[in-house]
Amino acid sequence: MILDGEVLPCGGSVGWRPSGGAYEVAGMKRHRVAVVGATGAVGKEILAVLADRHFPIEDVRLLGSGRFEGRRMGTPVGERSVDAADHDSFAGIDVAFFAAGSDVARELAPSAVRAGAVVIDNSSAFRMDPEVPLVVPEVNPDALDVIDHAGIVANPNCSTIVLVVVLKPIADAAGLERVVVSTYQAVSGVGSKGIEALERETRSVLAGEAVEPKVLPYPSAERHRVIAFNVVPHVDQFGDQDYSKEEWKMVHETRKILADPGLRITATTVRVPVFRCHAETVNLELKRSLDPEHARELLHAAPGVSVRDDPGRLEYPTPLDATGLDDVYVGRIRRDDTVSAGLNLWLVGDQLRKGAALNAVQIAEALIEKHRL
Ligand SMILES: NC(=O)c1ccc[n+]([C@@H]2O[C@H](COP(=O)([O-])OP(=O)(O)OC[C@H]3O[C@@H](n4cnc5c(N)ncnc54)[C@H](OP(=O)(O)O)[C@@H]3O)[C@@H](O)[C@H]2O)c1
C-alpha cells in the first residue's frame, strides 16, 4: 500500500540492484525519457532497468493516470514527481516507454510520436500492425530498420518474449516444424493488483477466513476466481475457437517475430500462484534431428539464455531462482521419441524483466546503436 507523501521506490520487488554498467559510453548523447505508467509493475521495473544499465538519460518524466499526481518517485537521475498523462505530456521527449495498457497507448502514443518521440509500447495495441516492428533484440533487431526517427515499436507479450529467445537458436540450427507450449504464469503478469490479490488471498486462506477474490482472471468479470493455492487455465479473455487472447498472442506474435507466418504453434496459458516469473513447457517437432547435448550447447551460446540442466544434480530453473534476473533459464532438455526429431524443454523467465522492462530498454539501446534515437 502506498501512503500519502511516501516516495515510491524505483524498481519492482527486487528494488535497486548493483549496476551491470552495461550500456553507457563516455560522451554518448543523453536522452529525455518519459515513462507512461511509471507507478505500475512494469513502469517501476523500467526505471530500475534504466538505472541498472546506465542508460544515457538527461531527464525523466513520470506519467500516470492522475491517481498519484504530485507523488515523488526515485529515478536514475534523482527524485521526480508523477504527473497525469495527457496529449501535451511529450514535448521535448526523445523516447517514451508506455506501460499503461492498450487504451492509453492507442490514445496517447500518436501524440508522443507527433511530438517527436519514439514510443516503445508494452501493450498489445500495435503489436500485430504490419507497420509496427515487434522486436526482441536478440531475435529480430533488423525489424527496427523500418522505423524512422519518430515512430512506434511494440514490445511483445511477456510469455512470447521468453519463448522466442529460446526458439531462435534452435530454429536456426534445426528448423521448427511444430511448437506446443503450455505456460505457468505469475500473478504479477496482471500488474500490481495481481501481486496484492495473491498476498491477500493467501493470508485469508491461512487464517481460515473467507476469501474474497477480486482480481483474477480479469477485473471486468462479474465473478472472480481464487488464485491462492489454485491453478487457473485462463489468462486474458476467451475468444476465437475458445482459445484465450493470451494464447492467440503467443501464436501470432511468435510467427511475426520469427518471420515464419506458417509456423505450426499452439498454446495453453495458465495462471499459477507465483508472484513473479513465467515458466513454460515447450514440445518441439524439428525439421532436422537435434540431440539434447547439441541443444544445450546452442542454448548456452545464445544471447539472453542460460542453461540450468543437470538432472543428476537435480538442477533445473524455477521462478524463485529467476526472479530479478535478466536471462531466460532453460532446463529439462530431453529428446521426444514420439516423433522423428522431437525435443522437450522447460524455461523460466522474469516476465517483468526480460518479458517487459528489460526488452523495452534493450529496444531503445538498439535504436541508439542504429542511430535512430
Ligand atoms: N505485468 C507484466 O508482467 C507485464 C508484462 C508485459 C507487458 N505488460 C503490459 O504492460 C502494461 C502495464 O502493465 P502493469 O502490469 O505494469 O500494470 P499495473 O501494475 O496495473 O500498472 C498500470 C499503470 O498504468 C497507469 N495508467 C492507468 N491508466 C492510465 C491513464 N489513463 N493514463 C496514464 N497512465 C495510466 C497506472 O497509473 P496509476 O498508478 O497512476 O493509476 C499504472 O502506472 C500493460 O499493457 C500490460 O499488458 C505487463
- Check pocket membership of 189 for ligand 1, CB cut-off 6 A: yes
Residue 12: band (very low, low, confident or very high) from pLDDT cuts 50, 70, 90 = very low
The residue whose C-alpha atom lies closest to atom 36 belonging to ligand 1 is 37
* Enclosing H/E stretch for 179: strand 176-184
Q: Over range 2-27, report the average pLDDT.
A: 42
User: Looking at the predicted structure, is the pLDDT value of residue 149 above 90?
Assistant: no
pLDDT at residue 150 in the model: 64
Would residue 64 count as lying in a domain? yes
- Check pocket membership of 100 for ligand 1, CB cut-off 6 A: yes
- Check pocket membership of 68 for ligand 1, CB cut-off 6 A: yes
The DSSP letter of residue 315 is B
Would residue 246 count as lying in a domain? yes
- The predicted-structure confidence for 150-170, as pLDDT tens digits, reads as follows 699 999 999 999 999 999 999
180 and 329, same domain (yes or no): yes
Q: Over range 206-231, report the average pLDDT.
A: 84
Residue 214: band (very low, low, confident or very high) from pLDDT cuts 50, 70, 90 = confident
- Check pocket membership of 101 for ligand 1, CB cut-off 6 A: yes
167 and 307, same domain (yes or no): yes
CATH code at position 64: 3.40.50.720
Cα(101) to ligand 1 centroid in Å equals 5
Q: Which percentage of the chain shows pLDDT scores above 90?
A: 87
101 and 179, same domain (yes or no): no
Rounded to 5, what percent of the chain is helix, strand, coil?
A: 30, 25, 45
117 and 215, same domain (yes or no): no
- The predicted-structure confidence for 57-77, as pLDDT tens digits, reads as follows 999 999 999 999 999 999 999
Position in ligand 1 atom list of the atom nearest CA 39: 43
Q: Which domain does 243 fall in, by range?
A: 160-351
218 and 175, same domain (yes or no): yes
User: Looking at the predicted structure, is the pLDDT value of residue 327 above 90?
Assistant: yes
Q: Measure the CA–CA gap between 321 and 343, rounded to whole angstroms.
A: 24
How many structural domains are present in the chain? 2
Please indicate, yes or no, whether the overall pTM of this predicted structure exceeds 0.75: yes
Contact 226, 245 (CB under 8 A): no
Q: For cell 518479458, what's the residue? A: 355
Would residue 22 count as lying in a domain? no
Cα(99) to ligand 1 centroid in Å equals 5
Position in ligand 1 atom list of the atom nearest CA 44: 16
Cα(192) to ligand 1 centroid in Å equals 8
- The predicted-structure confidence for 179-197, as pLDDT tens digits, reads as follows 999 999 999 999 999 999 9
Cα(238) to ligand 1 centroid in Å equals 21
* DSSP β-ladder status, 176-184 and 264-268: parallel
Active site residues: 158, 278
pLDDT at residue 64 in the model: 98
User: Looking at the predicted structure, is the pLDDT value of residue 108 above 70?
Assistant: yes
55 and 167, same domain (yes or no): no
φ and ψ at residue 65, rounded to 5 degrees:
-80, -15
- Check pocket membership of 140 for ligand 1, CB cut-off 6 A: no
- Check pocket membership of 43 for ligand 1, CB cut-off 6 A: yes
User: Looking at the predicted structure, is the pLDDT value of residue 81 above 50?
Assistant: yes
247 and 332, same domain (yes or no): yes
The residue whose C-alpha atom lies closest to atom 17 belonging to ligand 1 is 191
184 and 284, same domain (yes or no): yes
The residue whose C-alpha atom lies closest to atom 2 belonging to ligand 1 is 189
- Check pocket membership of 105 for ligand 1, CB cut-off 6 A: no
CATH code at position 233: 3.30.360.10
Cα(73) to ligand 1 centroid in Å equals 16
Would residue 306 count as lying in a domain? yes
Would residue 20 count as lying in a domain? no
pLDDT at residue 5 in the model: 31
- Check pocket membership of 156 for ligand 1, CB cut-off 6 A: no
Q: Over range 116-141, report the average pLDDT.
A: 97
What is the strand order of the sheet 176-184 is part of? 264-268, 176-184, 278-286, 342-349, 328-336, 305-307
Q: Measure the CA–CA gap between 77 and 97, rounded to whole angstroms.
A: 16
